[in-house]
Amino acid sequence: MAMNMNLYSRGDKIFALATAVLIGLFTVATLYPFIYIAAVSFSGGFAAAAGKVVLTPVDGTLAAYKYILSEPKFWRSYLNTFIYTIGGTMMSMLIIIPAAYALSRPQLIGRRFWNLFVAFTLWFNAGLIPFFLNMRDLNLLDSYFGIIIAFAVNAFNIILLRNFFESLPNSFEEAARMDGANDFQILWKVYIPLSKPAIATITLFCIVSRWNGFFWAMVLLQSEEKVPLQVYLRHTIASLSDDQEFTATLSSQPYGPESVTAAIIICSIIPVLIIYPFIQKYFEKGILLGGVKE
Amino acid sequence: MESSQRKHAAAEGSSVRPKRSLKHRLVWLVDHLKNEWQLYVMLAPAIIWFLVFLYKPMYGLQIAFKDYSIFLGVKDSPWVGWEHFQTLFSNDQFIRAFLNTIKISALNLLFGFPAPIILALLFNEILNATYKRTAQTIVYLPHFISSVIIAGIVTTAFAPTAGIVNTVMGWFGLDSIYFLTRPEWFRPIFVGTGIWQEAGFGSIVFLAAIAGVNPSLYESAVVDGASRWQMIWKITLPSIMPTIIIMLIIRIGNIMEVSFEMIILLYQPSTYSTADVVNTWVYRQGLQSGQYDVAAAAGLFNAIVAFVLVMVANTLARRYGRTSLW
């Protein structure tokens, strides 16, 4: 490319500049809302309520963070999110990896049927109501275990990993069998080490979807001490904008509902930002792995 | 070593299925299970999970045709035939929700589909690797942020007095608008938020397609004195057209899939007229008001329409691209 640079006409240079500017604008537009929220979170209550915050904090204060970090419910929900994320991701891997391996073996009887059995759930879904009633019948409402198990598997992840296992050359398996390895050993000692990028991709997708999970946690959990961060966040945002009384208690403080909302948003984004570099390392490959064949 | 070799030979032998008598087949099956039982142990947890959490609810869908009573349960509630469907199709709110689903999806398609393609084409023109990498890192990020947070940001930014949008409008002397209570603003905000959140991540597929274009095409175009603009139109776009068409077919197939979680977070009674979609209606009718049977009927109707669309789209995509995505 560098060699071609000299061959670029003046028009091309203007074109290159224009694309760089457009990409820059889109990037800034993506980033700006986060900067704005961060600025609001560090701003004083009056400035935030009056709409004076644009780019940097106005009447800078840590009051909103002090308020939120001293709230036991916030920490409880944070802990719950960790429980759901770690427990849920481990449960997912425990079910998905062996299943994907089994489905990738040509000697499995009924392989086509089982693949269809899995893939069908991508195309047809019973919907919210039967799923909810089923959870109730299983006695899994308002339960940590219910949330962890009910969202452990999805067909897409199994298919993605199965495709990856299928793409590995047979010679590895044959060599392991020569050494007397059984299927558990082959999966554990050969396939899992060879599939680290694919497994990492799925693990990270599981972690992110668990961390962000909201709707079913809101529907299925009734006890306040069991709700994850996202549900707590939602309740707080809703009560800040609706509950006059709560808002009134805040207005006598150096922080306002806007800065408290913003502070909670920032606190819940931080863990995502921490694992984001790892996610980025894998997802570009991962997303392309999935889209190959049935 | 010797025994393992024999075992290996046996495993290989068992993968060829005999087509002889029942007895032979049984012997073969016993032999196969003896050697390969571990595979079935590995598969079992997933099969049980699918049966309990996804297939059992499909059995529960029969309440769409029943007068569901919590005390009688799914199996023993009395049948009512198509009654709930008749109720649905004479219910203005349900019909509105169904039409809204299609309208919102159509807007998403019209504005949301070209965005990642344009973005990918622009990224491809960036020569500075660091600049490109940094920009990509940033624009992929919103995909990984939860809908609660995105909705929180939208609510804060579009708030009547405190929000940045109204602040900026104030600079130009425009009157403040309480956007999230206005039905005419719901769809632009929803679709715009979707583009902001997903366009970057969506560009990955198209960037991969662009990376697969034969470089010699560009080289000969340079020799012929083509400009970058011409190369986009004459080489890049035609080369990635198969990917674009397949992605488009799949998007159309998923037209009944609207991110209702985001709608639940952003809508309110005053914007139901433009924001309410089938799944949000099902949520209110079923999970909030306890009309499980009618809501399940609405969900079933939605699922069947979606299923037919996805199947048609898959067939078209397969015929078009020979490889279907799933």
B13: pLDDT strictly greater than 50: no
A contact residues 60-119, partner B, Cβ 8 Å cutoff = 94-96, 98-99, 101-103, 105-109, 114, 117-119
Instruction: Encode pLDDT of A165-176 as tens digits.
Output: 998 888 888 888
Distance from CA of A90 to the nearest CA of B (A): 14
**Min CA distance, B230 vs chain A (Å)?**
10
Grade residue A46 by pLDDT with cuts at 50, 70 and 90.
Answer: confident
Give me the residues of B, 207-266, that contact A with CB < 8 A.
208, 222, 227-229, 261, 264-265
pLDDT confidence of residue B19: 63
Higher per-residue confidence, B231 vs A279: B231
Res B102: pLDDT:
95
**Pairwise CB contact (< 8 Å): B157 & A33:** yes
Shortest Cα–Cα distance, A168 to chain B (Å): 18
The 10s digit of each residue's pLDDT in B132-190 is: 999 999 999 999 999 999 999 999 899 887 889 999 999 999 988 999 999 999 999 99
Average pLDDT over residues B259-280: 95
- Closest-CA distance, B72 to chain A, in angstroms, reads 12
Is the confidence at residue B12, as pLDDT, over 70? no
**Count of CB atoms within 10 A of residue B5's CB?**
12
**8 Å CB contact between B83 and B169:** no
* Residues 100 through 119 of chain B touching chain A, CB cutoff 8 Å: 119
Give yes or no for residue A244 having a pLDDT over 80.
no
Q: What angle do CA B84, B87, B90 make, to 5 degrees?
A: 150
pLDDT digits (tens, 9 = 90+) for B231-246: 999 999 999 998 898 8
Q: Which residues on B lie below 8 Å from A267 (Cβ)? A: none
* A72-220 is classed CATH 2.40.50.100: no
d(CA A214, CA A147): 11
CB-based contact B299 A133, cutoff 8 Å? no
Domain B85-321 in CATH 2.60.40.10? no
If you measure CA to CA, which chain B residue comes closest to A261?
Answer: B152
Mean pLDDT, chain B, integer: 89
pLDDT on residue A291: 46
**Looking at this predicted complex, what is its ipTM?**
0.90
pTM above 0.80, yes or no: yes
- List helix spans (H) across chain B: 2-14, 22-50, 56-60, 73-76, 83-89, 92-107, 114-125, 129-140, 147-157, 164-171, 183-211, 215-223, 228-231, 237-253, 260-266, 272-275, 278-282, 292-321
- Chain B residues with CB under 8 Å of A284 CB are 204, 208
Q: How far is A204 from chain B (nearest CA, A)?
A: 10
- The answer to whether the CB atoms of B310 and A118 lie below 8 A apart is no
- What is the C-alpha separation between A63 and A45, in angstroms, rounded? 9
Q: What is the pLDDT of residue A255?
A: 76
Q: Who has greater pLDDT, A3 or B119?
A: B119
- Residue pair B240/B209 in contact (Cβ under 8 Å)? The answer is yes
Residue A128 pLDDT greater than 80, yes or no: yes
- Convert B165-197 into a string of H (helix), E (strand) and C (coil): HHHHHHHCCCCCCCHHHCHHHHHHHHHHHHHHH
Query: Cα(B94)–Cα(B300) distance, rounded to whole angstroms?
Result: 13
The percentage of chain A sitting over the pLDDT mark of 90, rounded to a whole number, equals: 58
Domain ranges across chain B = 2-76, 85-321
Distance from the A252 Cα atom to the nearest Cα atom in chain B, whole angstroms: 17
For chain A, the three-class secondary structure string (H helix, E strand, C coil) is CCHHHHHCCHHHHHHHHHHHHHHHHHHHHHHHHHHHHHHHHCCCHHHHHCCCCCCCCCCCCCHHHHHHHCCHHHHHHHHHHHHHHHHHHHHHHHHHHHHHHHHHCCCCCCHHHHHHHHHHHHHCCCCHHHHHHHHHHCCCCCCHHHHHHHCCCCHHHHHHHHHHHHHCCHHHHHHHHHCCCCHHHHHHHHHHHHCHHHHHHHHHHHHHHHHHCCHHHHHHCCCHHHCCHHHHHHHHHHHHHHCHHHHHHHHCCCCCHHHHHHHHHHHHHHHHHHHHHHHHHHHHHHHHHHCCCC
Nearest chain B residue to A123 by CA distance is B307
pLDDT for A196 equals 87
B12-17, long-range: CB within 8 Å, 24+ apart, which pairs? B14/A107, B15/A106, B15/A107
Distance from C-alpha of A12 to C-alpha of B183, rounded to nearest angstrom: 45
Band (pLDDT 50/70/90 cuts) for residue A198 is confident
- How is chain A split into domains, by residue range? 11-70+229-271, 72-220
pLDDT at res. B2: 39
The answer to whether A108 contacts B300, with C-beta atoms less than 8 Å apart, is no
Binary contact (B47, A117; C-beta < 8 A): yes
When pLDDT is cut at 50, 70 and 90, the band that residue A236 belongs to is confident
Query: Residue A197: which residues within 8 A CB-CB, separation 6 or more?
Result: A282, A285, A286
pLDDT score of A286: 62
Q: What is the mean pLDDT of residues A35-56?
A: 87
Place of tokens 């956007």: B179
Residue-level pLDDT at A292: 40
Judged against a pLDDT cut of 90, whether residue A111 lies above it is answered with yes
Tell me the pLDDT tens digit for each residue of B274-288: 999 999 999 999 999
**Mean pLDDT value of segment B54-59:** 96
Report in angstroms the alpha-carbon separations of A186 from A101, A161, B196, B203, B220.
10, 16, 44, 37, 49
Mutate to test the interface with A, among B36, B148, B278, B300 (most CBs of A within 10 A): B148
Which residues 76-95 of B are in CB contact (within 8 Å) with A?
A: none
Closest CA to B67 of B293, B315, B306: B293
What is the pLDDT, as a whole number, of residue A83?
97
B96 in Cβ contact with B284 (< 8 Å):
no
Average pLDDT, chain A: 87
A230 neighbors A208 (Cβ within 8 angstroms): no
Q: Where residue A16 falls among pLDDT bands split at 50, 70, 90?
A: confident
